[in-house]
Amino acid sequence: MDVYGLVGNPVGHSRSPPMHEAAYDELGIDARYVTFEPAEPNIADAVAGADALGIAGLNVTVPFKRDVLDLVEPDPLAERIGAVNTIDFSGDTPTGHNTDAGGARRALTSHGVALDGANAVLVGAGGAGRAIAFAIADAGASVAIANRTVETAASLAADVGDAASAHGLDAVPGLLADADVLVNATSVGMGEDASPVPANALHAGLTVMDAVYSPLDTRLLRDARDAGADTVDGAWMLLYQGVEAFERWTGRDAPVDAMNAALRARL
Ligand code: ATR
């Protein structure tokens, strides 16, 4: 039996175990997916211990995504983003990957969004925002990054390169006039009826994706629907980061529908 898992603190409410185990069940893979919650100073021991115990793969979440970068061999994308969310122990040395980026890209493309040549507006430049900014720019879109703290947006835009620009939140309505895609990567709307974007800046022809998944139907997504925009809820990013991790670990196509059903049953 192969053991996979999630390491973070806290991880008690994670939906990753049922999502991954639904994939194992669907494909008849003899594996389990469990959660681990080490105290923060022990993450290096935890990764070395997982390797020594023969654990096949680990997802990594808050607060360890940056620390793990120095504990594994990161791939170029994880290095650029500055965070690892997936460790593969199958080689001689553990390797680190970032499936949050590919997950965000697939969440959009699976909803018919063509990113190559698109104009995207990303609100938020924290951990989630960094991965999304690289995903969007690497797919050929321009990305205007707007953040409450403009300096953080500027530093992310400099890391992403020519496809990115940095703005304050007050620039968002103007930026949206020409935009094809809007992604919220701030925590605004999480557990609250609030939106980071004025409703009257949203319009038909725009696809709006929210990284917030609790609640699933955020104020931003409701405003977007009311404005005639297409919407992609936060469960899709969660799903596709798991799909990309599963595919990296097993080398098989993920049973996306089974994983999606298991995830949504718990949101
Ligand atoms: P995550 O890992 O989920 O991305 P994070 O790294 O703490 O979390 O990032 C949170 C993001 O939400 C940041 O972009 C933050 O803006 P700042 O960089 O200015 O802190 C944004 N954010 C949080 N609360 C906000 C609020 N009330 N209004 C606007 N942006 C907010």
Which H, E and C letters describe 219-266, residue by residue?
Answer: HHHHHHHHCCCEEECHHHHHHHHHHHHHHHHHCCCCCHHHHHHHHHCC
Ligand 1: residue whose CA is nearest its atom 29 = 148
What DSSP string describes 88-115?
A: E-SSSS-EEE-HHHHHHHHHHHTTT---
Domain 2-97+237-264 architecture? 3-Layer(aba) Sandwich (3.40)
> Distance between CA atoms of 96 and 84, rounded to whole angstroms?
6
> Distance between CA atoms of 139 and 117, rounded to whole angstroms?
9
Sign of dihedral through CA atoms 148, 149, 151, 157? negative
Sign of dihedral through CA atoms 124, 130, 133, 136? negative
pLDDT score of 263: 98
pLDDT score of 40: 86
The first and second tokens of residue 125, run together, are 């430049």
To 5 degrees, how large is the angle CA 207–CA 211–CA 212? 120
Q: Which of 19, 31, 38, 65 is catalytic?
A: 65
pLDDT score of 154: 98
Identify the CA nearest to 96 among candidates 84, 106, 108, 104.
84
On the question of a common fold for 2-97+237-264 and 102-232, the answer reads yes
Ligand 1: residue whose CA is nearest its atom 27 = 188
Which of 100, 148, 156 to probe ligand 1 with, by most ligand atoms within 8 A of CB? 148
Q: Residues for the chain: how many in total?
A: 267
> Distance between CA atoms of 245 and 65, rounded to whole angstroms?
15
Which of 167, 187, 188, 220 to probe ligand 1 with, by most ligand atoms within 8 A of CB? 187
pLDDT score of 52: 97
Atom of ligand 1 nearest to the CA of 125: 14
Give mean pLDDT in consecutive 10-residue pieces for the chain, a chain of 267 residues.
Answer: 97 96 98 96 96 98 97 98 98 97 98 98 98 98 98 98 98 98 98 98 98 97 98 98 98 98 96
User: pTM to 2 decimals?
Assistant: 0.97
Ligand 1 geometric centre to CA of 129 (Å): 9
CATH of 102-232, one of 3.20.20.120, 2.60.40.10, 3.40.50.10440, 3.40.50.720: 3.40.50.720
Ligand 1: residue whose CA is nearest its atom 21 = 186
Q: Residue 5 contacts by C-beta under 8 Å, 6 or more apart in sequence?
A: 33, 34, 35, 36, 50, 55, 57, 58, 59
Per-domain residue ranges of the chain: 2-97+237-264, 102-232
Adjacent-strand bridge partners of 182: 121, 208
Q: Is 213 a catalytic residue?
A: no
